Amino acid sequence: AQSVTQLGSHVSVSEGALVLLRCNYSSSVPPYLFWYVQYPNQGLQLLLKYTSAATLVKGINGFEAEFKKSETSFHLTKPSAHMSDAAEYFCAVSEKGNNRLAFGKGNQVVVIP
Amino acid sequence: DTEVTQTPKHLVMGMTNKKSLKCEQHMGHRAMYWYKQKAKKPPELMFVYSYEKLSINESVPSRFSPECPNSSLLNLHLHALQPEDSALYLCASSQDSQGDSGNTIYFGEGSWLTVV
């Protein structure tokens, strides 16, 4: 069964600094990978997704992620953090033929002024 | 803005009450989902409907009863809930449930349920 690992439940980043959230996946077949963001008291919003096209995926709000098969990773980055980036971020994986999403535990991002 | 609409946004109910959560999507999606999310945790899948038929029930207690009246609507009927059922209930939809093309699952804003 597919799974994802997100390390470090809380991530603090200074405003203007690089945001890096790590995601490693486990899948027996080529995976589909997603990053979702959840702002306080809201639902989940799709940031970006990888579905076997380009390995570098650009998403909304200046975020991007790179699929690295050799490292089984799909890390999320943003060059310069904004205060508005404070939120919970979830990495998720699904497999072809199965839309059952497996979520990581999430990263709570805090942006320090 | 999400295209999956959930009502009500907040619901407080007693343990003997019967209430329903409602979800609607107009994206032409044929798969709809209910997820439960506790604070500081990832969402947990409860039910999946595919082409208006229940395809997955993740061993959810019978006090939760899903219903899919048509391809755009999804309900979750609640009866005799427990305080530990208090959570954010998220509805979601996708093109289909097979994931053959990496179908994206789109989430609504959620319904906050408090059981007293």
Closest C-alpha to A94, from A31, A36, A44, A6? A31
CA A70 vs. chain centroid, Å, equals 18
Q: Per the structure block, which two tokens stand in for A58? A: 């650009």
The residues, ordered by sequence, that sit 6+ positions from B32 with a Cβ below 8 Å of its Cβ are B23, B25, B48, B49, B68, B74, B91, B92, B93
| Sign (positive or negative) of CA dihedral A112, B41, A43, A37 | positive
Closest C-alpha to A39, from A7, A85, A102, A83? A85
Q: How many CB atoms lie within 10 A of CB A5?
A: 14
B98 to A98: CB separation less than 8 angstroms, yes or no = yes
Q: Which of B45, B48, B102 sits opposite A32 (nearest CB)?
A: B102
Q: How many CB atoms lie within 10 A of CB B105?
A: 29
List chain A residues with CB under 8 Å of B41: 105-106
Whose tokens are 């319904």? That residue is B111
Count how many pairs of residues, chain A against chain B, have C-beta atoms within 8 Å.
66
Chain B interface includes A113 (CB < 8 A): no
Going from the first residue of chain B to its last (116 residues), give the mean pLDDT of each consecutive group of 10, the final group possibly shorter. 87 94 94 94 94 93 96 96 97 78 85 96
Closest Cα in chain B, distance from residue A35 (Å)? 11
Q: Which residue in chain A has the smallest CA separation from B57?
A: A100
C-alpha torsion A76→B111→A40→A104, nearest 10: -30
C-alpha torsion A82→A85→A91→A95, nearest 10: -90
Chain A segment 61-90 residues within 8 A of B by beta carbon are: 90
Closest Cα in chain B, distance from residue A45 (Å)? 7
Q: Which residues of chain A have pLDDT under 70?
A: none
Chain A interface includes B48 (CB < 8 A): yes
A45 to B96: CB separation less than 8 angstroms, yes or no = no
pLDDT of residue A53: 75
B23-55: b (≥16 Cβ within 10 Å) or e: bbbeeebbbbbbbbbeeeebbebbbbbbeeeee
- Give the whole-angstrom CA distance, residue A59 versus residue A85: 13
B41 to A105: CB separation less than 8 angstroms, yes or no = yes
